[in-house]
Amino acid sequence: EVQLVQSGAEVKKPGESLKISCKASGYRFTSYWIAWVRQKPGKGLEWMGTIYPGDSDTKYNSSLQGHVIMSADKSIFTAYLQWSSLKATDTGIYFCAKHHSGRYFDWFDLWGQGTVVTVSS
Q: Minimum Å distance from CB 61 to other proteins?
A: 6
Q: Minimum Å distance from CB 40 to other proteins?
A: 12
What number of CA atoms fall less than 13 Å from residue 42's CA on the CB side?
Answer: 0
Among 62, 65, 75, 121, binds other proteins (CB under 8 A): 62
Going from the C-alpha of 59 to that of each of 4, 10, 13, 62, the distances in angstroms are 20, 25, 28, 9
Among 46, 67, 69, 91, binds other proteins (CB under 8 A): 46
For the chain, helix (H) and strand (E) counts, in that order, are 0, 11
Q: Please, which residue, 42 or 75, has the CB nearer to other proteins?
A: 42
Q: Please, which residue, 15 or 62, has the CB nearer to other proteins?
A: 62
d(CA 101, CA 115): 24
Among 34, 35, 51, 68, binds other proteins (CB under 8 A): 35
79 binds other proteins (CB under 8 A): no
105 binds other proteins (CB under 8 A): yes
Q: Phi/psi of residue 90, each to 5°?
A: -85, -5
Residue type, 12: K
**Interacting residues of 44 by C-beta distance below 8 A, sequence separation 6+:** none
Binding span for other proteins by CB under 8 A among 8-16, 69-77, 80-88, 99-107 = 99-107
65 binds other proteins (CB under 8 A): no
